[in-house]
Homo-oligomer: A and B are copies of this chain.
Amino acid sequence: MIMAKKIPVLEIFGPTIQGEGMVIGQKTMFVRTAGCDYSCRWCDSAFTWDGSAKGEIRQMTAEQIWERLCELGGDRFRHVTISGGNPVLIQALEELVSLLKNKGIRVAVETQGSRWQDWLYDVDDVTISPKPPSSGMETDFAMLDRIIDKLVGAGRASHVSLKVVVFDDDDFAYAKMVHKRYPNISFYLQAGNDDTKETDVTALREKLLAKLEWLVEKVAQSNELNDVRVLPQLHALLWGNKRGV
């Protein structure tokens, strides 16, 4: 008997809505995997990689994840988002993606674009979110080129988007550079959440919307960012920095 491969899972929750990016607002379930090859300064899910939630990680098979999704979501979902951490570290997600597709479920993934897995070909909504200077990380553009070439070459262009989180002017310059490098890939700018520790939701909302307004104004003034979309994180506006919503 072949042992099904295990996937390190930190949270499974939903139904809720996708808060950001190319399928913003989409009713979805979330599967959050553990582990990241980055350590962004402002990471809003640092518990996936900084050891603070180590005890919560469960090694699950694709089948077990499906059972848990059905337990929580019943017949009330047709879309699953796999997030992290960086899910693209995990080869074993191949089994989950293929199981979900067989069940008629649409699948979304978000990754920073530092790794490749063949199962990305089967994902309906691939959000690649290279990290701007404020993250403290370095983008491997050779790898990013390779990922985008593979997906575009396989006719998956309409299933891919790029999303850059913007906190400051340097990030904004980085966003312009990324959009210029991949002009034919749907491009999203996202207003950054400076304050992942803020617990007063009203105060956080005001800050996030002020940041969004600033970003909209920057984009409006630029002639290098014309066919782009600018979005907030809806889940942060709705629920603040809470986990599992």
Report which A residues bind B (CB closer than 8 A): 14-17, 23-27, 74-79, 106, 188, 202, 205-206, 209, 212-213, 216, 219-223, 225-232, 234, 237-239
Contacts and interface: CB of A to CB of B under 8 A. Distances in A.
Contact of A226 (B77, B202, B225, B227): B77
Given A188-B25, A209-B237, A76 B220 contact: yes
B212 A206 contact: no
How many copies of this kind of chain does the complex include? Answer: 2
A216 B238 contact: yes
Contacts of A27: 219-220, 225-230
A14 B106 contact: no
Given A24-B24, A24-B229, A24-B231, 7 more contacts: A23-B229, A25-B230, A27-B225, A27-B230, A75-B226, A76-B221, A237-B237
A208 to B, nearest CB: 10
B74 A223 contact: yes
A55 to B, nearest CB: 28
A233 to B, nearest CB: 12
